Amino acid sequence: MTHSKDNITHTHEDSCCASKEKITLVSSHKHTHNHEHEGHDHEHGHSHEESEESLLKSRWTLWMSLLIVLTYLLLKWGFGMAFSQNTTFVLMAIAYLGAGYKTVWKALKLIGNANLFNEFTLMTLATLGAFYIGEYTEGVAVMLFYEIGELFQDLAVNRSKKSIKALLDVRPEKVALKKAGNFVDVNPQEVKVGDIIQVKSGEKVALDSILLSDSAVFNTAALTGESRPDSKKAGEEVFAGMISIDQVCELQVTTLFKDSKLSRILEMVQDATARKAPTQLFISRFAKIYTPIVFFLALGITVLPYFFVTNYVFNEWLYRGMVFLVISCPCALTISIPLGYFGGIGLASRNGILFKGSNFLDVVTKLTAVVMDKTGTLTKGVFKVQKIDSQIDEKLFIQYMASLESVSTHPVAKAVVSYADKESLLKPADVKEISGQGLSGKIDNHEVLAGNAKLMHAFRIEIPESINQIPETVVIGAIDGKYAGFIIIADEPKEDAANAVSEMRKLGLKTVMLSGDKSAVVQKVAESLKLETAYGDLLPEDKVNKVQELKDKGYQVAFVGDGLNDAPVIALADVGIAMGGLGSDATIETADVVIQNDQPHKIVSAIKIGKITRSVVWQNIILAMSVKLIVLIAGAGGLATLWEAVFADVGVALLAILNAYRIQGKEV
């Protein structure tokens, strides 16, 4: 998929009104907005890149119709001017066509395709029926309100997308590519792996790369949600979306434009709106049954009284039937509910939280337990070497340990590597990662091990008993089958970790920490954060078992992690949350929710956003069903006019849309 920040197609699919919203990033320069319904198109003829002003201008025929109707009503009711029936018919017919020509045309096309039960046919039949019995003004009013409702929907969707579309602005359209010693501006899609690019101060990095310059400082806000400077040295990774802060730097590209970490995050957002929540799916199915039932009820209200009522007047009962038709379109539900979920996804994006589907907004509200990894999730994951105890020359010991650990992305491994002199590192061979234990490999023809006590036991290497008493993280080394020494590494909790745990407990959630680290270290961290339960010395499969135990006890479990080893347990949890937009690709791929920065309180924010969204969605369901039911009963009894029907349909739809619209302004 080729991405460009300027191009967005909005797909919108359901049996009546909106039920599926999805941002699609395309490579052409055409901007379209298509609402694809089941069996028909619902085109609004505007671009999401248009301003609200140009969108309003594009509906000039609607405003013309509104002006005609308002002028007519003002002259008739305000100044007592009399209009002949023919004059009224001509004026209202012009207004009707200006407001509803698209709807009538779509209705005719759908009837030709044997699709009778849809909003366009219902609105067309009801409004033409009003013209048939001489209620011209009411017929036009129904169509006007319906089209204004559609316009409000488009405006609301436009605003809802702003926070998500802002993500698209972080990737430049041009990149300076080195060709024959000179830098030439090219499209990022043309750059290949291995090419050298230049980024000037204040410019955005277009592709994932390795820094060639000695050093540079980057702003990582696009990936982490925070404008925090990140210092990089030659050879370190720089990701697409980062901004060079202080100087011109050269980078060597490591991934294609479409495969960059930022592109993957954007793809997640794109796919998120295509996954419907159970409430959406129910409303979608409900609309397909509800619409034809009310259609036939309207037909029955019009025709059946002929056999039972002595003074049957066709026009009177046709009017009641039309009231039923207008009310029958479930637009208030099928527009506002997906818009509510979309608003939730937008609010989450604004807060640096990416939900991969509307369904997960629902699931987070039902959570009863949050299980968290320790390193990188609750603790900073920035380990530093505190002490070295070696049986051989210390420099040689560090050289061997750091050389082997250089192939690992684990924070502990990075601490060892950063402590060592990088110039002295040797290239390891035959490296194997033993999950939950450490690494083995060959360095300078020596068999080298680096890991925990379990690794040493697995290779039958005797270690001093005193090592087991050290509470901090320890990297034990062995060379050629003999114990060679150990390195003590220290980590500390994140600043907001304790507050995040406290907030979770206030929400009634069970808090659990799982870690492959020593139980002594894990318990020490758990006590400082006031966690309910904590387990240490766990292998990845042990974490899976612990989560399964909670699920077996009836808990709805979220697991939060950031490492490659967390992918299996994230997949098992009811909701998998990946911490850190720069975390492991496998973890981010498996997760249901991605928190772009590394702040634990965002876990609480994600749950609160889910609750806000659910609350607004159910407010809209209750509002729409209550008002419609009242007017349906009143309409059948002849107590409701088309004006009340318009309010019950379009008016409630507008109220529901505006209510869903509120989600964007919420603070969490």
Crossing angle, helix 85-112 and helix 136-165, to 10 degrees?
50
Burial of 11 (0-12, 13-18, 19+ CB in 10 A): middle
Please tell me the distance from the alpha carbon of residue 563 to that of residue 70, in angstroms, as a whole number.
63
- 501 contacts 531 by C-beta, under 8 angstroms: yes
Q: Which residues, at least 6 apart from 257, have a Cβ–Cβ distance to it below 8 Å?
A: 2, 3, 188, 189, 191, 206, 207, 240, 263
Q: How far apart are the first and last CA of the chain?
A: 33
Catalytic site includes residue 389: no
Please tell me the distance from the alpha carbon of residue 152 to that of residue 349, in angstroms, as a whole number.
23
> In terms of DSSP H, where are the helices of 420-452?
none
Share of the chain residues as helix, strand and coil, in percent rounded to the nearest 5: 50, 20, 30
Please tell me the distance from the alpha carbon of residue 193 to that of residue 191, in angstroms, as a whole number.
7
Q: Which residues, at least 6 apart from 281, have a Cβ–Cβ distance to it below 8 Å?
A: none
The CA R_g of the chain, rounded to the nearest whole Å, is: 32
- 606 contacts 348 by C-beta, under 8 angstroms: yes
Count of Cβ atoms closer than 10 Å to residue 549 Cβ: 11
Count of Cβ atoms closer than 10 Å to residue 196 Cβ: 16
Tokens representing 107 are: 């209705």
Helix (H) or strand (E) holding 123: helix 119-132
Q: 154, 208, 230, 373: which one is catalytic?
A: 373
- 529 contacts 505 by C-beta, under 8 angstroms: no
Helix (H, G, I), strand (E, B) or coil at 481: coil
- 8 contacts 23 by C-beta, under 8 angstroms: yes
Give the phi and the psi of residue 59 in degrees, each rounded to 5: -100, 35
Count of Cβ atoms closer than 10 Å to residue 507 Cβ: 13
Q: Which of 560, 546, 589 is nearest to 494 (CA)?
A: 560
Tokens representing 415 are: 């601490």
Tokens representing 390 are: 């070696």
- 246 contacts 229 by C-beta, under 8 angstroms: no
Query: 179 pairs with which residues across the strands?
Result: 182
For residue 261, the Cα-to-chain-centroid distance in whole angstroms is 16
Per the listing, tokens 């797909």 go with: 11
What's the number of CA atoms in the CB half-sphere (13 Å) around residue 126?
35
Give the phi and the psi of residue 437 in degrees, each rounded to 5: -125, -50
DSSP string, 273-316: TTS--HHHHHHHHHHHHHHHHHHHHHHHHHHTHHHH-TT--HHH
* Residues involved in catalysis: 373
